Amino acid sequence: MQRLPPNQRLKTDFPVLHFGKVPEFDKKTWDFRVEGLVEKTIRLTYDEFLALEKTVDVSDFHCVTGWSRFDNKWEGVRFRDIAKLVKPKSNARFATIEAEGGYSTSLPLAELMGPDVLFAYNFDDKPLEPMHGGPLRLVVPKKYAYKCAKWVRKVVFTEEQEFGFWEQRGYSDSADPWKEERYSY
């Protein structure tokens, strides 16, 4: 099976790509909040987040600008395990993932519930570097990497979809690298 999606080039280094600057991480003030259409909202400190049930997943990474990187070893908490804690209401169909500095992305819950979707804090058995989204980033291997928000702080469950930073700027919302869904026109 072809492992490189159409019109992607393989990279063995790990490029750094984001809008704006790398935010400071202050463990004393950092929190992770889950809100919106849930039975129970939560607010976790960094240590509380690290104490949640964790998962390791190795996956490939595809940036919409044309590079891909294979076999990335992420460790963190599955989106579905976070969902279990907050119990989404029956009308919740999407979640918006909000990051430091105004970045966001959103996805249908059906896609976020996949076993490979993680809020990752370790990469290659080491704490995730700030430039790659540390202390916490979303990883959604089946999508172009603009869905993999770095520096995540909040998840909001919604009934209607709220479009994210790049999705509002002409990038595809479905973002499937195998169908080469790069732009929204």
Ligand X SMILES: Nc1nc2c(c(=O)[nH]1)N[C@H]1C(S)=C(S)[C@@H](COP(=O)(O)O)O[C@H]1N2
Residues of the shown chain interacting with ligand X in the complex, contacts defined by CB under 6 A: 14-19, 63, 99, 103, 132-133, 145-146, 148-151
3-state secondary structure of 167: helix
Burial class (CB in 10 A: 0-12, 13-18, 19+), 80: middle
Nearer Cβ to ligand X, position 103 or 157?
103
Nearer Cβ to ligand X, position 37 or 175?
175
The answer to whether 175 contacts Mo ion (rule: CB under 5 A) is no
3-state secondary structure of 97: strand
Please, which of residues 86-145 interact with Mo ion by CB under 5 A? 145
* CB-CB contact of 127 with 49 (8 Å): no
User: How big, in percent rounded to 5, are the helix, strand and coil portions of the chain?
Assistant: 15, 35, 50
Among 34, 38, 63, 83, binds Mo ion (CB under 5 A): 63
Nearer Cβ to Mo ion, position 18 or 153?
18
* CA distance from start to end of the chain: 29
The answer to whether 149 contacts Mo ion (rule: CB under 5 A) is no
Q: Which alpha helices (H) appear in 96-165, and where do they start and end?
A: 109-112
Question: CB under 5 to 8 A by kind: which of ligand X, Mo ion, none does 79 bind?
Answer: none
Please state the closest distance from residue 18 (CB atom) to ligand X, in A: 3
Nearer Cβ to ligand X, position 63 or 77?
63
* CB-CB contact of 97 with 138 (8 Å): yes
Where on the chain is the footprint of Mo ion (CB under 5 A)?
Answer: 63-64, 145-146
